[in-house]
Amino acid sequence: MYGIKQVHRMYVRLATGPGGLKPIWILAPNNPSNYGLKLYHPSDGFYITQSDIILRQNRPFWQLLFFRFPACLPSGRTRAAIVTCGGLCPGMNTVIRELVVGLWELYGVRQIYGVVSGYRGFYSREPIELNPKLVHNWHKRGGTTLQTSRGGFDLNKIVDAIQNRGFNQVYIIGGDGTMRGAVKIFDEIRRRKLNIGVAGIPKTVDNDVGIIDRSFGFQTAVEMAQQAINAAHVEAESAVNGIGLVKLMGRSTGHIALHATLSSRDVDCCLIPETEFYLEGKGGLFEYLEKSLKENGHAVLVVAEGAGQDIIPRTEAQKQQRDESGNPGFLDVGLWLKSELKNWWSGDHPNDLFTMKYIDPTYMIRAIPANATDSLYCTLLAHSAIHGVMAGYTGFVYIYVIYSEKNREKLQFL
C-alpha cells in the first residue's frame, strides 16, 4: 500500500495518536451538507509500522494518503511552486503535469508556478506560471521542461525567495541530495514560523532511495537498457570471440544493470557496485569470460557505472574529485574494462581473432518519456503529495511501499 513517514502539521495543534501522529479531520458522515468536521483517531489498521531494522529506530509510523476536502488552505489563497533538481529521470515532466492538473482540478488552485533551473532558480530566475493547458502534453516529453541543475543551493536566498513571492506550497522533485536540501528548507521555514507546506517527491533513475520499493522512471530505464543489451548481443554473436560490453547507470547500486540483465536473458556476466570482483586469477573475470567464449563463441558483459571503482587505478587528484552536488567522482569503468579486456586477450591469445564492441547508453535510458507503468505511478506520487499538503502536512516525502496480504486486508476500507 502507500504511505508517508511521520510528518508535521502546520495548521492544527492536536493531541497525538500512536507514534506521535496527529489525528485527522474528516467529513462527519451525519452532516455532509455543510462539511461538518469531526476529530477522531483512526483504527489500528490505519497506522502502518515499518521494520525498525531498516530504519534503525523504534516503531516508526506511516499514514495513508487520500483526497481531503475541505482542504486546510482555501484554493484562492494557495500559491504553489514546483521545482525539479539533479539529474534527469523518465517521468519528471509527468510528475510536473500531474501536480499542476491535480492542484487545478482537484482543489481549484489557480496560482501554480514552475521554478526554472533547480534550486538556484528560486532566487535567480522568474518563475513560470503553469496551468493544465500549458502542461497538457508534457508527459510525452523526456527530461524536465522546467529545466534542472545541480548545486546552487543557498538556503537563505531560497527561503527568502519563497517568502517574498508568496508561495505557501512548495513541491520539490529530486534525488537524495535534493531531499536533504528540502529538509533544510523545511527546517528554515519552521524556524521562521512560516505557514508554508513543503513536500518532496523522490526521483532517482537508479532506484536507490532508501525505504522506497520503486522510484518513478526506473522501469522505463530498464526497458530502454535492454535495447542496448540486445545490440551488444547481436554484435557479439556475429563475430568470432566477440564480446559485447554495456555500461549502465548505477553509482551506488546496480538495480538497472541487474534488472535489465535478468529481463534480457542474453547477458553472461553482470557487474554491480554491491559485489566486488577481480580480473585475474582463479574465479576472476578473465577466467569466466574465456570459459564463456570457448563454450559459446561470444559473451555479453553488463557493468554498472559504480562497479569496480575500488580496483581502477587513480591519481590523488582523481581521489579528491567531486561533482557540483558533492558526490564522489567516478572513473569510467566501461572504458577501463574495454582496455583491460583487449590487453588481456592480446597478451594471452595473440594469434586468435577477438572483437570487442562497447556500448554506453547511459544518458539515452534516462532522457526519454515514462512508459505506461511509470506514467501511472507518477500520477499517484504527484496527487498523493498534493493531498498531504492540502491536509496540512509539511516536511514529508510520499513513498510507495508494498505490504503483506495481511496488512493489505486490514487497509481495504481505504
Indicate if the pLDDT at residue 159 is higher than 60.
yes
Per-residue model confidence as pLDDT tens digits over 124-150: 999 999 999 999 999 999 999 999 998
Indicate if the pLDDT at residue 174 is higher than 70.
yes
Indicate if the pLDDT at residue 408 is higher than 50.
no
Query: Cα separation of 301 and 175, whole Å?
Result: 28
Contact 328, 273 (CB under 8 A): no
Q: Across residues 404-413, what is the average pLDDT?
A: 43
Q: What would the grid cell of residue 304 be?
A: 554498472
Helix (H, G, I), strand (E, B) or coil at 197: strand
Looking at 3.40.50.1980, 3.20.20.150, 3.40.50.450, 2.60.260.20, the CATH number of the domain 2-215+370-410 comes to 3.40.50.450
Indicate if the pLDDT at residue 333 is higher than 60.
yes
Q: Across residues 179-193, what is the average pLDDT?
A: 95
Q: Across residues 333-341, what is the average pLDDT?
A: 97
Q: What is the pLDDT of residue 20?
A: 41
> Whole-model pTM?
0.79
Write phi, then psi, for 112 (nearest 5 degrees).
-125, 130
Q: What is the pLDDT of residue 400?
A: 72
User: What would the DSSP string read from start to end of 394-410?
Assistant: ESEEEEE----HHHHHH
Query: Cα separation of 320 and 52, whole Å?
Result: 35
Share of the chain above pLDDT 90, in %: 67
| Band of residue 73 on the pLDDT scale cut at 50, 70, 90 | low
| Band of residue 323 on the pLDDT scale cut at 50, 70, 90 | low
Choice among 75-84, 105-114, 351-360 with the minimum mean pLDDT: 75-84
Q: Between residues 12 and 155, which one has the greater pLDDT?
A: 155
Contact 354, 241 (CB under 8 A): yes
The ranges assigned to domains in the chain are 2-215+370-410, 218-359
Give the pairing type, strands 355-359 and 242-248.
parallel
Give whole-number Cα distances, 321 to 87, 303, 317, in Å: 18, 22, 7
**Nearest in space to 355 (alpha carbons), one of 184, 240, 224:** 240
Q: What is the pLDDT of residue 74?
A: 60
Q: What is the pLDDT of residue 8?
A: 46
Helix (H, G, I), strand (E, B) or coil at 28: coil
Indicate if the pLDDT at residue 309 is higher than 80.
yes
Order the strands of the 298-304 sheet from edge to edge: 269-271, 298-304, 242-248, 355-359
- CA-based radius of gyration for the chain: 25
Write phi, then psi, for 184 (nearest 5 degrees).
-65, -40
Indicate if the pLDDT at residue 37 is higher than 90.
no
Position 391: which residue type? A
Query: Cα separation of 140 and 96, whole Å?
Result: 12
Q: What is the pLDDT of residue 327?
A: 65
Contact 365, 256 (CB under 8 A): yes
Task: Please confirm, yes or no, whether 360 is among the known catalytic residues.
Answer: no
Q: 139: which residues sit within 8 A by CB, 6+ positions away?
A: 93, 94, 97, 98, 369, 370, 375, 378
Helix (H, G, I), strand (E, B) or coil at 246: strand
Q: CA angle, corner 295, sides to 291 and 301, nearest 5?
A: 60
Per-residue model confidence as pLDDT tens digits over 213-250: 789 999 999 999 999 999 999 999 999 999 999 999 99
User: Is 271 buried (19+), middle (13-18) or exposed (0-12) by CB count in 10 A?
Assistant: buried
Query: Cα separation of 276 and 248, whole Å?
Result: 17
Contact 256, 304 (CB under 8 A): yes
Q: Which of 187, 206, 213, 360 is catalytic?
A: 206
Q: What is the pLDDT of residue 68?
A: 53
Contact 88, 367 (CB under 8 A): yes
Topology agreement, domain 2-215+370-410 and domain 218-359: yes
**Nearest in space to 254 (alpha carbons), one of 272, 230, 268:** 272
Contact 156, 187 (CB under 8 A): no
Candidate ranges 6-10, 324-328, 403-407; pick with highest mean pLDDT: 324-328
Q: Between residues 76 and 99, which one has the greater pLDDT?
A: 99
Q: What is the pLDDT of residue 165?
A: 97
Query: Cα separation of 360 and 350, whole Å?
Result: 27
Q: Looking at domain 218-359, does it have CATH number 3.40.50.460?
A: yes
Helix (H, G, I), strand (E, B) or coil at 263: helix
Give whole-number Cα distances, 49 to 57, 61, 62, 400, in Å: 11, 5, 6, 14
Q: How high is the mean pLDDT of the chain?
A: 82
Per-residue model confidence as pLDDT tens digits over 17-32: 334 433 333 333 333 3
Per-residue model confidence as pLDDT tens digits over 197-220: 999 999 999 998 877 778 999 999
267 C-beta neighbours (distance < 10 Å), count: 22
Q: What is the pLDDT of residue 13?
A: 32
Q: What is the pLDDT of residue 114?
A: 98
Q: What would the grid cell of residue 366 be?
A: 534516462
Rounded to the nearest angstrom, the gap between the alpha carbon of residue 145 and the centroid of all alpha carbons in its chain is 17
Indicate if the pLDDT at residue 69 is higher than 60.
no
